[in-house]
Structure 1
Amino acid sequence: MIVKNLNEIIGTERDVHGETWNSRRLLLAGENMGFSMHDTLIHAGTETTMCYENHLEAVYTIEGEGEIQVLPDGPTYPIGPGTLYALNENDRHCLRAKTQLRMVCVFNPPVTGREVHNANGAYPAATVAET
């Protein structure tokens, strides 16, 4: 059994900071669950363009208000507590945070730990698992 507490993650190497976000990585590839799970903060007033070419992602919003737009010119959906979106086609998208968003993110395949977005807004393909 794996038991984690967010307070044990904050301030460690599993607390990864990007330009517009902060991803607290609760489960990683090395824990052999077949997915990774992150408690993620998106900073208020920011826009983040992403396209996970190597991963599928599901996101459940638990705090904040914002919107997600499918790029280049797809629909825009409001985001708020209770909203789930799943990027089931490696969708290129822009996440806009009106207020700070707190989200639970699940990745398949799981990330290994220190990934940050590349120039395309993607994480690199998984290689070596870390615990």
Structure 2
Amino acid sequence: MTHGDQRAAYERAVAGKSRLFAVWPGQWSSDLFEIDDLDEFAKALGVKHDEERTGLKDHVHEVEWTKDPYGDDNPRSQYLGIDVILACGCSINDLRTFAVQMKEQRGWVIATSGGWSKRGRPNGTTTYSLRARRRSLTD
């Protein structure tokens, strides 16, 4: 029995070398479930890209960003509030997936803990308010 690396577990299960289980812990006992839908497992954990769930196509995004005009601009803070518009037509439904894509594509470090928001504009665009590591932001 092993635990940990989801990608390796998924690959072993797909190859028929092992089975996947999930434990739902309780106060007095725990329930054990076998994961039989390997595609859904892979999509949920980001092993496979799921455009429908994340709202993000698997391509290089056209990103426009500005400093959040209402955010705290403490220059000693590692993170900066930013407003992001995706000009490519994608939408951010899963922040972790977006953070991984931005790390790979632009070297940005997007904070995945804490809050983030999105708001629609009258012109049909959506603006996302996120936090990013200040030093990672480049154009």
Q: TM-score range by the shorter chain?
A: under 0.3
Structure number with greater Rg is 2
TM-score normalized by the length of structure 1: 0.24
Which is bigger in relative contact order (C-alpha 8 A, separation at least 6)? 1
TM-score normalized by the length of structure 2: 0.23
The structure carrying a bigger strand percent of its residues is 1
The structure carrying a bigger helix percent of its residues is 2
